[in-house]
């Protein structure tokens, strides 16, 4: 931990910096319940956010996360073939550290307002320079702590309009002037600086026990559109003060992302920039090894990342409903997820929920064309309301229960949260997808995105 004098140095920063408010009252009232007023953060991590001048409207557009020591880092990236320069740069940094069996990553620099995607070799050079600015910050950070020659590398993440160059001088000056801190306010500033079409900042933190010893997790993510599986799904960073070997962190992230950030869908589009990174600095002194500790850590990470990913769905562009699609009784996890994904990405299903229409036929149709072999006589389906009252059973043994109780359907579909449960009756595996409805506002938001 830093002394009070060193903390003050970081709060003062290294130059002029544009400040902004993190007051929850500036965000939509309906979303404020998802914005934390306090948090419990992993030891040894510092955060900050600012407006460096990328966004013309003066809103926050630059964030920085820093560890006070070397970290083990793992990441999952977009599978879009037009992957952006930051994705290519980060892959090289993480793979280089993995191949050398070294802990190299110390920071993450994130900008919003410009994606640095489809920018060719110049974009790669810009991503590298952005990373070098982060590394230079780390060297100054270490010098202020009295740690000589520690240093390290920085990952970079960019989000915003595709096809435009980064205003590099604004970013590098902004990184140099950045104020970082361990406080909740500092983490909030970083979360706000991630936002593009998001309507609220997405920050989560918690303490969990591993074999009776506490570790901490903190995560920031952003996204409201271009959200679909088979990638990392958006931008996000999870920090933990657990010590996790590279092989175990890679394995835990693969498990967790399949059940969280690769289990959400808003509009079926795949971004060029999607990146989810997990950074472990070991500051808690708790070491995650094979066996029970690894299983507990993986479970905790999966649950944490699922909760963090759910915030993205709740902020889906124009969304009015939060839908959990639960498929049980499948032969394999892959089968269950395929069926759940097909339901979650159906525009007809999503518009039915927006219209508060209990159109069971659209859901059953999606189950049928999901590409998974079924015994249709075993399929059951019900909708569970968010208030935990009685569900509305719509299909049993492959047959609809008619007539539908329209009054009960109306009561359930007026709620913001609901769960669609489909039982296949073929095995013991299950999977969930998280999605939202599809509204008129989604079209409006994306029709004038660049303006």
Positions annotated as catalytic residues are 233
Is residue 189 left, alpha or beta, with left meaning phi > 0 and alpha meaning psi from -120 to 50? Answer: alpha
DSSP code of 358?
Answer: -
The helix/strand/coil state of 196 is coil
CB within 8 A of 394, min separation 6: which ones? 358, 360, 363, 381, 382, 383, 400, 401, 404
Burial of 91 (0-12, 13-18, 19+ CB in 10 A): middle
CB within 8 A of 82, min separation 6: which ones? 117, 118, 272
Asked whether 191 and 201 are in contact (CB, 8 A), the reply is yes
Give the β-pairing of 235-240 and 264-265.
unpaired
CB within 8 A of 116, min separation 6: which ones? 84, 85, 86, 123, 126, 127, 158, 164, 165, 166, 273
CB within 8 A of 86, min separation 6: which ones? 116, 127, 130, 156, 157, 158, 273, 275
Reference 179, options 291, 52, 294, 49; nearest CA is 49
Give Cα separations from 231 to 88, 111, 228, 251, 340 (angstroms). 14, 20, 8, 16, 17
CA dist 159 and 393 (Å) reads: 42
Reference 153, options 237, 221, 77, 96; nearest CA is 96
Asked whether 129 and 172 are in contact (CB, 8 A), the reply is yes
Reference 241, options 276, 218, 213, 215; nearest CA is 215
């Amino acid at each position: 931990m830093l002394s009070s004098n060193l903390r003050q140095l970081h709060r003062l920063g290294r130059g002029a910096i544009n400040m902004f408010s993190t007051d929850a009252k500036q965000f939509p009232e309906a979303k404020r319940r998802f914005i934390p007023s306090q948090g419990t953060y992993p030891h040894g991590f510092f955060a900050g956010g600012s407006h460096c001048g990328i966004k013309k409207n003066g809103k926050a557009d630059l964030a920085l996360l820093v560890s006070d020591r070397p970290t083990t880092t793992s990441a999952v990236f977009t599978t879009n073939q037009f992957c952006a320069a930051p994705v290519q740069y980060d892959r090289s940094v993480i793979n280089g550290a993995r191949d050398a069996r070294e802990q190299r990553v110390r920071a993450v620099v994130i900008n919003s307002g410009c994606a640095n995607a489809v920018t060719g070799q110049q974009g790669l050079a810009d991503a590298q320079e952005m990373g070098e600015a982060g590394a230079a910050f780390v060297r100054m950070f270490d010098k202020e702590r009295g740690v000589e020659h520690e240093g390290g590398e920085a990952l970079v993440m960019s989000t915003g309009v595709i096809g435009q160059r980064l205003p590099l001088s604004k970013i590098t000056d902004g990184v140099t002037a950045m104020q970082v801190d361990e406080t909740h306010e500092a983490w909030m500033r970083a979360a706000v600086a991630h936002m593009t079409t998001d309507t609220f900042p997405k920050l989560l933190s918690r303490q969990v026990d591993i074999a009776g010893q506490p570790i901490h997790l903190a995560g920031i993510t952003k996204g409201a559109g271009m959200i679909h599986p088979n990638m990392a799904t958006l931008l996000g960073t999870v920090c933990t003060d657990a010590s996790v070997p590279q092989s175990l962190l890679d394995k835990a992230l693969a498990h967790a992302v399949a059940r969280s950030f690769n289990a959400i869908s808003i509009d079926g589009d795949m971004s060029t920039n999607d990146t989810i990174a997990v950074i472990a600095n070991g500051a808690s002194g708790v070491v995650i090894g094979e066996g029970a500790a690894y299983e507990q850590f993986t479970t905790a990470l999966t649950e944490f990342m699922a909760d963090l990913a759910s915030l993205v769905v709740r902020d889906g562009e124009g969304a009015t409903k939060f839908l959990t699609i639960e498929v049980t009784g499948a032969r394999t996890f892959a089968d269950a997820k395929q069926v759940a994904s097909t339901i979650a990405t159906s525009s007809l299903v999503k518009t039915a929920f927006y219209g508060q229409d209990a159109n069971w036929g659209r859901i059953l149709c999606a189950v049928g064309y999901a590409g998974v072999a079924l015994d249709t006589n075993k399929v059951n389906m019900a909708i569970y309301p968010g208030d935990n009252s009685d569900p509305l059973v719509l299909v049993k043994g492959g047959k609809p229960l008619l007539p539908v109780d329209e009054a009960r359907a109306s009561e359930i579909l007026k709620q913001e949260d609901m769960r669609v449960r489909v039982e296949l009756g073929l095995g013991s595996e299950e999977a969930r997808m998280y999605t939202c409805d599809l509204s008129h506002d989604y079209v409006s938001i994306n029709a004038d995105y660049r303006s």
